[in-house]
Amino acid sequence: MIADLFGSVLQGIPSKKNSLIKKKINLLSQEEWYKAFVNRYGNLIVFNNAFRNFIYQKDIETILKDKEKLEAFQEQLRQLVIKENL
């Protein structure tokens, strides 16, 4: 809990990593399935460190262009939410 709070504070500090994560989340936010996902699990998931690191490691632009990669990504994202109890 305290680590998540500390991590949230650090997310507010501008960095190359945080800028890239924000860009990727903005790309995802244009997708209807992602909007439904955030609606289901709450918009606070974007502040979770595990979620942010997961997004950081993925090539979102490529994933969004490939149906099979997108389906795998969506499943990985669901599993992350379950694992993290979000």
The residue to which tokens 């632009």 are assigned: 61
The confidence band for 14, taking pLDDT boundaries of 50, 70 and 90, is confident
- Per residue in 44-84, pLDDT (tens digit) is 888 899 999 999 999 999 999 999 999 999 999 999 999 98
CB-count burial class (<10 Å; 0-12, 13-18, 19+) for 46: middle
